[in-house]
Amino acid sequence: MLEAIGDPKGLRTLDVGCGEGRFVRRLAARGAQVVGIDPVRSLLEAAHGRGGTLVRGVGEVLPFQSDAFELVVCYLALIDIADYRSALAEQARVLKPGGRLVIANLSGMASSGTWQRDAARRNRTFTMDRYLEERWEQARWAGIDVMNWHRPLSAYLEALLALGLVLRRFVEPPTPNQIAVDPTLAEDARVPWFVVMEWVKPCPTAS
Ligand SMILES: C[S@@+](CC[C@H](N)C(=O)[O-])C[C@H]1O[C@@H](n2cnc3c(N)ncnc32)[C@H](O)[C@@H]1O
Protein backbone atom coordinates (compact mmCIF):
# COMPACT_ATOMS: atom_id res chain seq x y z
CA MET A 1 0.00 0.00 0.00
CA LEU A 2 2.78 2.43 0.85
CA GLU A 3 4.45 1.70 -2.49
CA ALA A 4 1.19 2.31 -4.37
CA ILE A 5 0.57 5.55 -2.47
CA GLY A 6 4.03 7.01 -2.92
CA ASP A 7 4.77 10.23 -1.04
CA PRO A 8 1.56 11.36 0.74
CA LYS A 9 3.14 14.46 2.28
CA GLY A 10 0.62 17.27 2.60
CA LEU A 11 -2.20 15.31 0.94
CA ARG A 12 -5.68 15.58 2.42
CA THR A 13 -6.27 11.87 2.98
CA LEU A 14 -9.18 9.74 4.12
CA ASP A 15 -8.78 6.17 5.43
CA VAL A 16 -12.18 4.42 5.16
CA GLY A 17 -12.59 1.57 7.67
CA CYS A 18 -9.43 2.63 9.51
CA GLY A 19 -9.88 0.19 12.42
CA GLU A 20 -7.47 0.95 15.26
CA GLY A 21 -5.66 3.35 12.98
CA ARG A 22 -2.47 1.51 12.03
CA PHE A 23 -2.48 2.95 8.52
CA VAL A 24 -3.68 6.39 9.65
CA ARG A 25 -0.55 6.53 11.80
CA ARG A 26 1.75 5.40 9.00
CA LEU A 27 0.37 8.02 6.63
CA ALA A 28 0.44 10.75 9.29
CA ALA A 29 4.07 9.86 10.02
CA ARG A 30 4.78 10.48 6.32
CA GLY A 31 3.24 13.93 6.48
CA ALA A 32 -0.29 13.28 5.17
CA GLN A 33 -3.23 15.20 6.70
CA VAL A 34 -5.20 12.08 7.52
CA VAL A 35 -8.75 11.49 8.67
CA GLY A 36 -9.72 7.93 9.59
CA ILE A 37 -13.34 6.79 9.71
CA ASP A 38 -14.69 3.59 11.25
CA PRO A 39 -18.00 2.56 12.82
CA VAL A 40 -16.51 0.67 15.79
CA ARG A 41 -16.12 2.84 18.87
CA SER A 42 -13.62 0.57 20.66
CA LEU A 43 -11.27 0.60 17.65
CA LEU A 44 -11.43 4.39 17.42
CA GLU A 45 -10.73 4.64 21.15
CA ALA A 46 -7.60 2.53 20.62
CA ALA A 47 -6.57 4.85 17.77
CA HIS A 48 -7.28 8.05 19.66
CA GLY A 49 -4.36 10.39 20.35
CA ARG A 50 -1.84 8.41 18.30
CA GLY A 51 -1.98 10.43 15.06
CA GLY A 52 -4.53 11.66 12.55
CA THR A 53 -8.12 12.78 13.07
CA LEU A 54 -10.71 10.11 13.81
CA VAL A 55 -14.39 10.13 12.98
CA ARG A 56 -17.05 7.58 13.82
CA GLY A 57 -19.20 6.63 10.85
CA VAL A 58 -19.83 4.17 8.07
CA GLY A 59 -18.33 4.09 4.61
CA GLU A 60 -21.76 3.97 2.94
CA VAL A 61 -22.58 7.56 4.03
CA LEU A 62 -19.42 9.59 4.48
CA PRO A 63 -19.88 12.78 6.53
CA PHE A 64 -17.59 14.84 4.29
CA GLN A 65 -18.11 17.30 1.47
CA SER A 66 -17.63 16.26 -2.13
CA ASP A 67 -14.11 16.70 -3.56
CA ALA A 68 -12.70 17.08 -0.02
CA PHE A 69 -9.72 14.69 -0.30
CA GLU A 70 -6.76 14.26 -2.64
CA LEU A 71 -6.22 10.67 -1.53
CA VAL A 72 -8.70 8.08 -0.26
CA VAL A 73 -7.49 4.72 1.01
CA CYS A 74 -9.52 1.67 1.86
CA TYR A 75 -7.31 -0.94 3.45
CA LEU A 76 -8.95 -4.38 3.77
CA ALA A 77 -12.28 -2.81 4.66
CA LEU A 78 -14.41 -3.49 1.54
CA ILE A 79 -14.64 -7.15 2.55
CA ASP A 80 -16.38 -5.99 5.76
CA ILE A 81 -18.88 -3.68 4.09
CA ALA A 82 -22.24 -5.09 3.03
CA ASP A 83 -23.19 -2.25 0.65
CA TYR A 84 -19.83 -1.96 -1.09
CA ARG A 85 -21.34 -0.16 -4.10
CA SER A 86 -22.52 2.75 -1.92
CA ALA A 87 -19.18 2.78 -0.08
CA LEU A 88 -17.25 3.01 -3.36
CA ALA A 89 -19.61 5.70 -4.68
CA GLU A 90 -18.98 7.71 -1.51
CA GLN A 91 -15.22 7.27 -1.85
CA ALA A 92 -15.40 8.58 -5.41
CA ARG A 93 -17.65 11.48 -4.35
CA VAL A 94 -15.34 12.79 -1.62
CA LEU A 95 -12.31 12.49 -3.90
CA LYS A 96 -11.23 15.65 -5.67
CA PRO A 97 -10.93 15.37 -9.48
CA GLY A 98 -7.40 14.18 -10.22
CA GLY A 99 -7.28 12.54 -6.77
CA ARG A 100 -6.48 8.88 -6.17
CA LEU A 101 -8.32 6.02 -4.50
CA VAL A 102 -5.96 3.27 -3.31
CA ILE A 103 -7.60 0.03 -2.27
CA ALA A 104 -6.19 -3.11 -0.72
CA ASN A 105 -8.59 -6.00 -0.66
CA LEU A 106 -8.57 -9.71 0.08
CA SER A 107 -8.64 -11.44 -3.29
CA GLY A 108 -11.79 -13.30 -4.27
CA MET A 109 -9.65 -16.31 -5.03
CA ALA A 110 -8.41 -16.35 -1.43
CA SER A 111 -11.83 -15.73 0.07
CA SER A 112 -13.39 -18.60 -1.88
CA GLY A 113 -10.61 -21.08 -1.24
CA THR A 114 -8.83 -23.14 1.34
CA TRP A 115 -5.56 -25.02 1.68
CA GLN A 116 -5.49 -28.78 1.41
CA ARG A 117 -2.88 -29.94 3.89
CA ASP A 118 -0.89 -33.16 4.22
CA ALA A 119 -0.59 -35.28 7.36
CA ALA A 120 2.18 -32.98 8.64
CA ARG A 121 -0.15 -30.00 8.09
CA ARG A 122 2.00 -28.61 5.28
CA ASN A 123 0.13 -26.61 2.64
CA ARG A 124 -0.16 -28.78 -0.46
CA THR A 125 -2.74 -27.42 -2.87
CA PHE A 126 -5.23 -24.60 -2.66
CA THR A 127 -8.76 -25.37 -3.78
CA MET A 128 -11.46 -22.87 -4.69
CA ASP A 129 -15.19 -23.28 -4.90
CA ARG A 130 -18.23 -21.09 -5.69
CA TYR A 131 -15.96 -18.24 -6.81
CA LEU A 132 -18.69 -16.32 -8.65
CA GLU A 133 -21.19 -16.51 -5.77
CA GLU A 134 -21.32 -13.46 -3.45
CA ARG A 135 -21.71 -14.51 0.16
CA TRP A 136 -20.59 -13.65 3.67
CA GLU A 137 -19.50 -15.48 6.77
CA GLN A 138 -19.33 -14.42 10.38
CA ALA A 139 -15.78 -13.86 11.58
CA ARG A 140 -14.01 -12.33 14.58
CA TRP A 141 -11.42 -9.59 14.06
CA ALA A 142 -9.73 -7.47 16.78
CA GLY A 143 -12.28 -8.72 19.33
CA ILE A 144 -15.33 -7.73 17.28
CA ASP A 145 -17.80 -9.76 15.23
CA VAL A 146 -17.63 -8.89 11.55
CA MET A 147 -19.26 -10.04 8.33
CA ASN A 148 -16.56 -11.09 5.89
CA TRP A 149 -17.80 -10.85 2.34
CA HIS A 150 -16.60 -12.97 -0.52
CA ARG A 151 -17.12 -11.36 -3.91
CA PRO A 152 -15.57 -12.09 -7.27
CA LEU A 153 -13.13 -9.48 -8.52
CA SER A 154 -15.59 -8.47 -11.26
CA ALA A 155 -18.04 -7.19 -8.61
CA TYR A 156 -15.54 -4.57 -7.42
CA LEU A 157 -14.17 -3.76 -10.88
CA GLU A 158 -17.63 -3.23 -12.36
CA ALA A 159 -18.64 -0.94 -9.48
CA LEU A 160 -15.45 1.13 -9.76
CA LEU A 161 -15.63 1.39 -13.56
CA ALA A 162 -19.30 2.41 -13.36
CA LEU A 163 -18.22 5.36 -11.21
CA GLY A 164 -15.99 6.59 -14.04
CA LEU A 165 -12.77 5.94 -12.13
CA VAL A 166 -9.68 5.00 -14.11
CA LEU A 167 -7.48 2.10 -13.06
CA ARG A 168 -3.84 3.15 -12.95
CA ARG A 169 -2.18 0.32 -11.05
CA PHE A 170 -3.04 -3.26 -10.15
CA VAL A 171 -0.71 -5.34 -7.99
CA GLU A 172 -0.97 -8.80 -6.50
CA PRO A 173 1.58 -8.77 -3.71
CA PRO A 174 4.11 -10.06 -2.93
CA THR A 175 5.82 -8.87 -6.11
CA PRO A 176 9.03 -10.55 -7.31
CA ASN A 177 10.97 -7.50 -6.06
CA GLN A 178 9.44 -7.82 -2.60
CA ILE A 179 10.29 -11.54 -2.52
CA ALA A 180 13.87 -10.75 -3.55
CA VAL A 181 14.15 -8.46 -0.51
CA ASP A 182 12.36 -10.89 1.84
CA PRO A 183 12.46 -14.52 0.60
CA THR A 184 10.09 -15.64 3.40
CA LEU A 185 7.31 -13.98 1.34
CA ALA A 186 7.66 -16.72 -1.30
CA GLU A 187 5.14 -18.91 0.53
CA ASP A 188 2.59 -16.06 0.28
CA ALA A 189 3.11 -15.99 -3.48
CA ARG A 190 1.55 -19.44 -3.84
CA VAL A 191 -1.95 -17.99 -3.53
CA PRO A 192 -3.14 -14.52 -4.65
CA TRP A 193 -4.13 -13.32 -1.17
CA PHE A 194 -4.40 -9.61 -1.86
CA VAL A 195 -5.00 -7.11 -4.60
CA VAL A 196 -3.84 -3.50 -4.45
CA MET A 197 -5.44 -1.08 -6.89
CA GLU A 198 -4.84 2.57 -7.61
CA TRP A 199 -7.78 4.38 -9.21
CA VAL A 200 -7.90 7.99 -10.38
CA LYS A 201 -10.92 10.29 -10.47
CA PRO A 202 -10.70 12.01 -13.84
CA CYS A 203 -10.78 15.78 -14.11
CA PRO A 204 -13.81 17.09 -16.02
CA THR A 205 -12.96 17.82 -19.64
CA ALA A 206 -13.62 21.32 -20.99
CA SER A 207 -16.52 21.36 -23.44
C1 LIG B 1 -10.19 -5.96 8.50
S2 LIG B 1 -10.49 -4.44 9.28
C3 LIG B 1 -9.25 -3.40 8.60
C4 LIG B 1 -8.95 -2.19 9.45
C5 LIG B 1 -7.84 -1.29 8.97
N6 LIG B 1 -8.12 -0.71 7.67
C7 LIG B 1 -6.53 -2.02 8.97
O8 LIG B 1 -6.03 -2.35 7.88
O9 LIG B 1 -6.01 -2.30 10.06
C10 LIG B 1 -11.99 -3.87 8.54
C11 LIG B 1 -12.50 -2.58 9.14
O12 LIG B 1 -13.69 -2.19 8.45
C13 LIG B 1 -14.54 -1.59 9.39
N14 LIG B 1 -15.92 -1.55 8.90
C15 LIG B 1 -16.90 -2.49 9.03
N16 LIG B 1 -18.02 -2.07 8.46
C17 LIG B 1 -17.78 -0.85 7.95
C18 LIG B 1 -18.56 0.12 7.25
N19 LIG B 1 -19.84 -0.13 6.95
N20 LIG B 1 -17.97 1.28 6.90
C21 LIG B 1 -16.67 1.53 7.18
N22 LIG B 1 -15.87 0.64 7.84
C23 LIG B 1 -16.43 -0.52 8.22
C24 LIG B 1 -14.36 -2.45 10.62
O25 LIG B 1 -14.81 -1.80 11.80
C26 LIG B 1 -12.85 -2.68 10.61
O27 LIG B 1 -12.18 -1.70 11.33
List pLDDT tens digits, range 161-178: 999 999 999 999 999 999
Listed in sequence order, the residues at least 6 apart from 123 whose beta carbon sits closer than 8 Å to its beta carbon are 115, 116, 117, 187, 190
Q: Which pLDDT score is estimated for 139? A: 84
Q: Which pLDDT score is estimated for 124? A: 96
Domain boundaries, the chain: 2-200
Is 142's pLDDT higher than 80? no
Is 179's pLDDT higher than 90? yes
Question: What percent of the chain clears pLDDT 70, i.e. is strictly above it?
Answer: 100
Q: Determine if ligand 1 sits within 6 Å of the CB of residue 40.
A: yes
To the question of domain 2-200 being in CATH 3.40.50.150, the answer is yes
Q: What's the gap in Å between 121 CA and the centre of ligand 1?
A: 31
Q: What's the gap in Å between 163 CA and the centre of ligand 1?
A: 22
Q: How confident is the model at residue 29 (pLDDT cuts 50, 70, 90)?
A: very high
Average pLDDT score over the chain: 96
DSSP for 84-149 reads: HHHHHHHHHHHEEEEEEEEEEEE-HHHHTEEEEE-TT--EEEEEE--TT--EEEEEEETTEEEEEE
The answer to whether 108 and 131 have CB atoms below 8 angstroms apart is yes
Q: In testing the pocket of ligand 1, which one of 37, 38, 106 has its CB within 8 Å of the most ligand atoms?
A: 38
Q: What's the gap in Å between 114 CA and the centre of ligand 1?
A: 23
Q: Which pLDDT score is estimated for 205? A: 83
Is 146's pLDDT higher than 80? yes
**69-97 confidence digits (pLDDT tens):** 999 999 999 999 999 999 999 999 999 99
Q: Determine if ligand 1 sits within 6 Å of the CB of residue 62.
A: no
Closest CA to 86 of 181, 174, 16, 21: 16
What three-state secondary structure class fits 14? strand
Q: What's the gap in Å between 110 CA and the centre of ligand 1?
A: 18
Q: Determine if ligand 1 sits within 6 Å of the CB of residue 38.
A: yes
Q: What's the gap in Å between 141 CA and the centre of ligand 1?
A: 10
How far apart are alpha carbons 146 and 144 in whole angstroms? 6
Q: Which pLDDT score is estimated for 203? A: 95
Q: How confident is the model at residue 206 (pLDDT cuts 50, 70, 90)?
A: confident
